[in-house]
Amino acid sequence: MNQIYYIFLSLRPKQWVKNFFIFLPLLFSKKILNFDDCAVTVLTFFLFSLFSGAVYLFNDILDYQKDRLHPYKRLRPIAAGKLTVTGAWFASLFILVSAVVMSSLVSIHLTNIALIYFSLNIAYSLKLKKVVILDVLCIAAGFVLRVVAGSVVIAVKASHWLLMCAFLISIFIGFCKRRAELTSLNENANSHREVLEHYNTAFLDQMIVISTSTTVMSYALYTMSEETVQKFSTENLIYTVPFVLYGIFRYLYIVYKKKSGLSPTEALLKDFPIIICVAAWFVLSGAIIFKAI
């Protein structure tokens, strides 16, 4: 039973919050009140959690020796010696096969997207995470694939605006994460993540400024675009922009002022103002889309 518990921990359930991007097409296609579409989207959320969990196990197998030197990662089950490498290999393979079989029962297109996502992350674990800039772009591509998966299972075409906004905010999050790692680990940063050798705070600050600006502008333009106004028959989505601004600025405050090593996932789960902001954005967006406002 202990091994099952440690396998579950290695799937990093706290990271599953990233898979909420899968729900965005459900909201912006106005299908969130359709029970069947909601059910298949929830199922897709859990299937992607299995695919990402298999990747996390694989990544932990590769990096467990380095993780033992990290102040937080040393507590991961494999690095801590609580889960054997052999056990992790079998668990990763079993979870992957199970996820492939179950996703194929939902949609073969979902399976294809999920396997692309899995392959991208394996390539990231093996090589791409060591390539400066490309490492962050790979992370962003993973979020875009989540949005595409959410679109496929409810048979809608994801808006180019939605895909662009998801991509840009993911780039913003990625560069903020790299900066937090660089500053919190100090002189030990390179030994924990090789790519940090090629980054410095000045460069990352520039990337964060650019990604912040493009993210906010893209979302604002999306809410005002003729396509969006015609689709939802309202111009009121512009009133959700302040929530996006606050959420981004709040995370920047955490990274810069608090100098916190909180990952975006941890911030979303632990920072009360961000939690309230995201919830308020979701409720307001839903109310506007469904004409409650």
Return the residue matching tokens 């010696």: 81
The predicted model scores a pTM of 0.90
Q: For residues 203 and 52, what is the distance between their CA atoms, to the nearest angstrom? A: 30
What confidence score (pLDDT) does residue 207 get?
A: 96
What confidence score (pLDDT) does residue 262 get?
A: 57
What confidence score (pLDDT) does residue 216 get?
A: 95
Comparing CA positions, the residue from 203, 129, 150 lying closest to residue 42 is 150
What confidence score (pLDDT) does residue 259 get?
A: 62
Count how many residues are written for the chain.
Answer: 293
What confidence score (pLDDT) does residue 180 get?
A: 84
| Full pLDDT tens readout for the chain, 293 residues | 688 888 898 899 988 999 999 999 999 988 988 999 999 999 999 999 999 999 999 988 988 888 777 777 788 888 888 888 888 899 999 999 999 999 999 999 999 999 999 999 999 989 899 999 999 999 999 999 999 999 999 999 888 999 999 999 999 999 998 988 888 766 665 556 788 888 999 999 999 999 999 999 999 999 999 889 998 889 999 999 999 999 999 999 988 886 655 566 777 778 899 999 999 999 999 999 987 55
What confidence score (pLDDT) does residue 182 get?
A: 84
Superfamily of domain 1-157: UbiA prenyltransferase (1.10.357.140)
**Largest Cα span, the chain:** 57
For residue 40, give both structure tokens: 């298949």
What confidence score (pLDDT) does residue 69 get?
A: 75
* Cβ-proximal residues to 259 (8 Å cutoff; 6+ apart), any chain: 183, 184
